[in-house]
Amino acid sequence: MLRLSKMSDYAAVVMAHIARYPEQAHAAAELSEAVGVPRPTVSKTLKMLMHAGLLQSRRGAQGGYRLTRTPIEISVSEIIEAIEGPVAMTECSQAEGECGLAATCGVADNWQRVSMAIRQFLDSVTLADLAQKTPIKMPVMLPIQSVSLASISDA
């Protein structure tokens, strides 16, 4: 279903929560309760976000997590990538692991473009957008055909 993993979802929820009070340090326990996700799981998520450089932590009393950047400077694609790796629809859309069918499949090139379009879109959505209460408006996406089908000439 082209579904985000639950962990990514948690990550987004947690990040959004932190983004609403960016100045405070948020302990894992606090976030766990606020969000309704068991502590160990939330902790794991936080660790991943930290490794990705989206959060900084301080241990000890009064410690916790806070954002390394302002919510406007964090994109949802970064959050997703922190949890599940690069946003890529097909195997061939990542640098590594070229799929064996690349030679015969004939769609690799176009898939990569589609994939890139989605990545760019996700780049353009920020944590601030996600966290705000008022629903964000949808971006205008020009139908792909309008630019592509015009110039077909080969086989």
Q: Is 43 in the site for ligand SF4 (CB under 6 A)?
A: no
Sign of torsion over alpha carbons 78, 83, 85, 91: negative
Residue 66 is classified by DSSP as: E
Q: Is 131 in the site for ligand SF4 (CB under 6 A)?
A: no
User: Side chain identity at 59, as an amino acid letter?
Assistant: R
Spell out the residues 6+ positions from residue 123 whose beta carbon is closer than 8 angstroms to its own. Answer: 75, 77
Q: Is 61 in the site for DNA (CB under 7 A)?
A: yes
User: Side chain identity at 19, as an amino acid letter?
Assistant: A
Q: Measure the CA–CA gap between 17 and 136, rounded to whole angstroms.
A: 17
Q: What do you get for the CA distance between the two ends of the chain, in Å?
A: 33
Please work out the total of residues on this chain that contact DNA, with binding judged by CB under 7 A: 28
The nearer residue to ligand SF4, 56 or 144, going by C-beta atoms, is: 144
Restricted to residues 8-27, the positions that interact with a copy of itself (CB under 8 A) are 9, 12-13, 16-17
**Which of a copy of itself, DNA, ligand SF4, none sits in contact with 36, Cβ below 5 to 8 A by type?**
a copy of itself
Which positions lie near DNA, rule CB under 7 A?
Answer: 5-7, 10, 26-29, 37-38, 40-41, 43-44, 46-47, 50-51, 57-65, 84
